Structure 1
Amino acid sequence: MPLPFRRFLPSPIPAACALALLGTLALPASAAVPAPRDLPYPGTIVLKVDATNVGQQIFRIRATIPAAPGPLTLLYPQWVPGNHGPSGPLNQLAGLRLSADGKPLAWTRDPVQVHAFHLTVPEGATAVEAEYQFLSPVEPAQGRITMTSEILGVQWQAMTLYPAGYFSRRIPVQASLKLPDGWQYGTALETAARRGNDISFKPLDLETLIDSPVFAGRHFRRIDLDPGAAVPVHLNIVADNPESLEAKPEQIAAHRALVKEAAKLFASHHYKHYDFLFALSDEFGGIGREHHQSSENGVKPGYFTDWAKSEAGRDLLPHEYTHSWNGKFRRPADQDVPNFNVPLQNSLLWVYEGQTQYWGNVLAARSGLVSAAGIRDTIAAYAARYDRVQGRAWRTLQDTVNDPIVQARRALGWSNWQRSEDYYVEGMLIWLDVDTRIRELSGEQRSLDDFARVFYGVDNGSVGPAYYQFDDVVRTLASVQAFDWAPFLRAKLDSNAAGAPLDGLARAGWKLVYTDTPTEIIKGQEERNKMTDFSYSLGFSVKHDGAIDGIEWDGVGFRAGLSGNSTIVAVNNRAYKPEVLKAAVKAARDGKSPLNLLVRKGSNFRTVALDYQGGLRYPRLERIPGSKDRLDTILQPRR
């Protein structure tokens, strides 16, 4: 470098000054946010949400927050229950203006806890007025769409500012909602009054409010799923069009059977009433999120009208309903946090979500929402996928409970190696192992159903919550069936051994096999996701436009050098179509036919030769000759 340019470079820092600077920077940053205290908040927050601007997808919020003169910190919820991580949509909060007695108040964001806003309440003031907007995403790249021209969902954590320094369950809130003309709504909240489009809800604490979302829509239907029951359950449906609301009597009967089967399983209820919030839409964001007395569920419009093809997704409602018992009434002790800005801990998500995944599939079959064959095919797909997870060599299943925080549910480039939230499905396979082990050890006299009645059936009618730890799970299992459960579970959770935990499947009388024909479940998944699954042959799937997805680490495609962001243009010099690649995979079984892909990545093209002669492979379950079919027994309705 020529000498004159040196004057543009920063001067060297003397060593002593550098050490001093490093010492300064090493001091931990701290947030000036008052710690939550278990004291009643003095006053009631009045929260008003105007949801009428569906054209621009903007929620407008006004809040009156009682406050004494002096410093005040307002919090925007960061840790969202059910999402298991810090997913509060702070980036969609906009236009924040604060005032007292009609005069503007300045605010500053905390530089460490950016969900906190500091201000000073002037002398003589008794409340702070807050005005702001929640900007629902207008396209999926911005986040989940919560408002369309036909449907909206009010998630109160996205609408709420609350005072720091108090437990959220000690903060009273009076919430109201303004809807577009003619719209109807469903929620677990109790309505105090409705005047035209304005709905006022009965006052309640902030924790319960945030646990009680609202679905509203232009096209709405409410179905009583337990007619005449003292503790009612309703299915509240919103849809893009009125045709999607048309459910046949036998379809409704299956949903009513779900309520009956859950009552038999858990021998209790822990809600005053329960409301499924169910959206059928191509535009409103898909969702499955649990709440204590309701759940948010969003799927494509053909759920009822294309019933034969929607079986693969019909375990959603049983899963979220199970959470009323598991995750909301019985909760892991490390999720007992005082407010929505104190971090959650997820050590027991393999119970919270893993056992719920298990019961969701079992209840789907027992109710008739999904056929027993459909559940078997689902388990086959799960078993095959998790049997090939290469990332278990370096990450235990227990460590994946941190993924909602680590990954924040973002897309992964190498999910088979990185691992994701495997505690759901691999957890389900562990609970199948537990169930079949109890059945075998007890001579078929007891099962995991007995655990459910004991563990979730306590304090029938109580809304709870009732917290538990690992030892409580082990103790309850031992009360059902004597066995050394703690080391058994820890071995499953902490292992780096290859292969999924399939002992329970074998004990259930079934084994995982591969054939050249996809099951109906896989066909349905391919159709819904607009992709073709070559995961168990070539080690990747392909979207309909040829884009390569889900590459298995160290699989056939991986070893050939394929990666994401690549598109198959041609197969053996023929333009890519799913059937062309399938035919080439079949032909390659003779060991002589080529399997060459022309692949584009960015502006570069190259030919990739795949070394594979195994033909098409799709997972399914096959009976183990001479074994007891415990899986069939598990999936049968309770009498």
Structure 2
Amino acid sequence: MRRRLVAALLLSAAFAAPAVQAQTGQAPVELSKPVAPQLSDATPLPADSPYPGTIRLEVDATDIVRRIFRVKETIPVAGNGGPVTLLFPEWKPGHHAPRGEIEKLTGLKVSVDGKPVEWTRDPLDVFAFKIDVPQGGKAITAEFQFISATAPNQGRVVVTDKMLNLQWESVSLYPAGYYTRQIPVQASVTYPDGWQAATALRGKKTGSTVAYDTTNYEVLVDSPVFAGQYFKAVDLGSNVTLNMVADTPEELVFKPEQMEKHKTLVAQAKALYGAMHFDHYDFLLAISDQIGGIGLEHHRSSENQVEPGYFTKWEDGLIDRNLLPHEFNHSWDGKFRRPELLWTPDFRTPMQDNLLWVYEGQDQFWGYVLGARAGMYTKEQTLDAYAHIAAKLDTTKARDWRSVEDTTFDPIMSSRRPKGWASWQRSEDYYNEGMLVWLEADAIMRQRSKGAKGMDDFGRAFFGMNPGDYGQITYSRKDVVDTLNGIVPYDWSTFLKERIEQPTKEAPKNGFTLAGYRLVYGDTPNTTTKFVEKDQKLTDQSFGVGLIVKNDGEVSGVVWDSPAFKAGFTVGTKIIAVNGAEYSQDAFKDALKAATDPKKPIDLILKRDKNYRTIRLDYSAGLRYPRLEKTGEGDGSLDRLLKPKA
């Protein structure tokens, strides 16, 4: 009744308004209409010309209690005065997105020749600081702090009581208007007493301070530092060093056969490509659960974090052992050869993220191949990983509307934030789906050439040029297609269009078929799925009922249009009870397995927020775990691909 009264009053008021306006004779109110100003960007575009002078960068990294880096940077200027723009790096190589942590730059004070001057932040680009240099000014000095994360909810933790990860882009500014490769920099860092540091840079140590050799700003940013109290370095051959820091000294103890696999990894990469794109290479490896996770490629180094037990619990570290092969291969694929629209002359120019299905997809391909050839994981473990990946991609229902090519923009769009409906949104699928496409390309090459050619030939032709060159050679889609055709003639352009650039119905599994395998399902998890379930403390039945459930019953994943989706499951739903018993991983799996019998349905009590409900799950396909099954006799093309090169 009250609703009707309110509706009647609103209705009468609506009709009365024009009448009142007419009686009073008031003219209609003219709404205000602002006009947008013409925006102009005063920041100079980068030019490929030498910067007049060498920047001096001094970093104090000793405050490991508060995790604060203190910076003093001296930037020479021409002396004729006028506006200068200093930039904090925004678009970070390897991230494929604007990930610069500008909010952590604090306490900025600027002076010219010792006299304080004001700075202003560009309202159109908050990473840009504007300074008016007085006539005759010779050098700008900027002093500030980078207040790194003290807890994971602030960002990645890069400093602990035992180690640190110094990334130069976080502790420096650079002058706008120049290619970063044209800006000379001489950097020095003071580390905590007794710590040792590793980086691709070389320099001279005096006490706890290391003065690094002068380089350019591009190379500086490409040469991060790992330092720690517990440190060990191992020569892997071919001018490659494994530099390790750890939470405890025990984590740095390894068996000879474990280190031999890392040496074999280097040898297998050299055998694959022929040329190395570095004068020396430094693996930076943190064995820690205190520092934030990372796997990031550079020309002459890589940043890697693995969990404790990397050596001491070798058999438990299956997934971690894929990290070093992946990041090492990026020295060729991604750093030396780079998509033309992904390469940028500085760290302000936006990356356009094209061809990441080559950059990351083929790197994922080679990472698994090199890891298998080196013995970092067995052939069985590699095949199990392929099966797990393909099956997960088959649950990606968003392939109906979104191509792999379109997922290359995901780093910019979502920055790896959690997704409620990942299977309907897609994520960075260019990694793993790209890998499956390259597996198929290898099988096609081997089939059409009667085993004479394969992706090894593409790798050497495309990446194995210019030994020692750690600059960049960019490439286009046409370059990729032309190189493929130069090895084995085929309609590679259409091949890529159908698998990469258009929506598809299912994951590309023809690489398995041509290689003598097929993807099948059973009720027993393979080595990869078993490891994932144990490591992440969950049950992964995305392949069947469409659910990923943590061991406490909380749902962390629901496949779009799956039986679980149709039953109303969402991320955050919690399963309280299974068939009248308290939720447990075993109870849930037993119920799924038993449900193949129509007389044994699955009754669940669910909780979301403060609400409970009881459902009967309409599902009878049982437990479903993927594996690859051999279909032919003898070695197929995939078997031969995974064999070590002589």
Compute the TM-score of the two structures, normalised by the length of structure 1.
Answer: 0.95
Q: Quick check: 1:234 aligned with 2:241?
A: yes
Moved more, 449-458 or 374-383: 449-458
Residue 71 (structure 1) aligns with:
83
Write the distance in 2 (CA, Å) between the matches of 1:295 and 1:156.
Answer: 14
Distance 1:148 1:594, change over 3 A: same
Q: Counterparts of 1:178-193 in structure 2 under 5 Å?
A: 178-191=190-203, 193=204
Residue deviations 1:541-566, cap 9 Å, x none? Answer: 11122221121111121111111122
Preserved CA contact (<8 Å) 1:32 1:110: no
Write the distance in 2 (CA, Å) between the matches of 1:35 and 1:464.
Answer: 21
Write the distance in 1 (CA, Å) between the matches of 2:308 and 2:184.
Answer: 38
Residue deviations 1:12-35, cap 9 Å, x none? Answer: 9977654x42xx23x564432111
Q: Quick check: 1:142 aligned with 2:154?
A: yes
Preserved CA contact (<8 Å) 2:187 2:211: yes
Distance 1:585 1:28, change over 3 A: farther
Correspondence for 2:567 among 544, 560, 578: 560
Q: Quick check: 1:404 aligned with 2:411?
A: yes
Correspondence for 2:100 among 75, 88, 111: 88
Preserved CA contact (<8 Å) 1:96 1:130: yes
Preserved CA contact (<8 Å) 1:530 1:544: yes
Write the distance in 2 (CA, Å) between the matches of 1:580 and 1:13.
Answer: 74
Letter in 1 for 2:223: S
Residue 504 (structure 2) aligns with:
497
Shift of 1:206: 0.3
Preserved CA contact (<8 Å) 1:312 1:374: no
Residue deviations 1:491-536, cap 9 Å, x none? Answer: 1112222100111111111100111011122111112212221211
Residue deviations 1:227-272, cap 9 Å, x none? Answer: xx4xx10000011100111111000000000000000101110100
Correspondence for 1:133 among 127, 134, 145: 145
Query: How many residues end up aligned between the 2 structures?
Result: 623
Preserved CA contact (<8 Å) 2:395 2:542: no
* Secondary structure in 2 matching 1:114: strand
Residue 309 (structure 1) aligns with:
316
Shift of 1:627: 7.8
Letter in 2 for 1:83: H
Write the distance in 1 (CA, Å) between the matches of 2:27 and 2:412.
Answer: 38
Residue 9 (structure 1) aligns with:
none
Residue 325 (structure 1) aligns with:
332
Letter in 1 for 2:372: A
Q: Counterparts of 1:23-102 in structure 2 under 5 Å?
A: 24-25=35-36, 29-67=39-77, 68=79, 69-102=81-114
Write the distance in 1 (CA, Å) between the matches of 2:123 and 2:298.
Answer: 32
Moved more, 628-637 or 394-403: 628-637
Letter in 1 for 2:199: T
Residue 448 (structure 1) aligns with:
455
Shift of 1:594: 2.6
Shift of 1:626: 4.8
Write the distance in 2 (CA, Å) between the matches of 1:375 and 1:321.
Answer: 18
Letter in 2 for 1:572: N
Correspondence for 2:211 among 197, 200, 208: 200
Preserved CA contact (<8 Å) 2:307 2:320: no
Moved more, 103-112 or 204-213: 103-112
Letter in 1 for 2:554: A
Preserved CA contact (<8 Å) 2:557 2:570: no
Letter in 1 for 2:144: Y
Shift of 1:467: 1.3
Preserved CA contact (<8 Å) 1:31 1:111: no
Correspondence for 2:478 among 446, 471, 480: 471
Residue deviations 1:255-306, cap 9 Å, x none? Answer: 0000000001011101000000000111101111000000001110111110
Write the distance in 2 (CA, Å) between the matches of 1:275 and 1:240.
Answer: 20
Shift of 1:104: 2.2
Q: Counterparts of 1:511-590 in structure 2 under 5 Å?
A: 511-590=518-597
Larger Rg: 2
Write the distance in 2 (CA, Å) between the matches of 1:389 and 1:278.
Answer: 33
Distance 1:28 1:483, change over 3 A: farther
Preserved CA contact (<8 Å) 1:540 1:548: yes
Write the distance in 1 (CA, Å) between the matches of 2:575 and 2:117.
Answer: 58
Q: Quick check: 1:370 aligned with 2:377?
A: yes
Preserved CA contact (<8 Å) 2:516 2:636: yes
Compute the TM-score of the two structures, normalised by the length of structure 2.
Answer: 0.94
Unaligned runs of 5+ in 1: 7-11
Write the distance in 2 (CA, Å) between the matches of 1:614 and 1:96.
Answer: 62
Preserved CA contact (<8 Å) 2:169 2:221: yes
Shift of 1:346: 1.2
Letter in 2 for 1:179: Y
- The Cα RMSD (Å) is 1.8
Correspondence for 1:212 among 223, 226, 236: 223
Correspondence for 2:167 among 142, 147, 155: 155
Write the distance in 2 (CA, Å) between the matches of 1:625 and 1:430.
Answer: 21
Write the distance in 2 (CA, Å) between the matches of 1:13 and 1:561.
Answer: 55
Write the distance in 2 (CA, Å) between the matches of 1:545 and 1:50.
Answer: 44
Residue 20 (structure 2) aligns with:
none
Distance 1:107 1:14, change over 3 A: farther
Preserved CA contact (<8 Å) 2:592 2:623: yes
* Secondary structure in 2 matching 1:314: helix
Moved more, 501-510 or 90-99: 90-99
Identical columns (%): 47
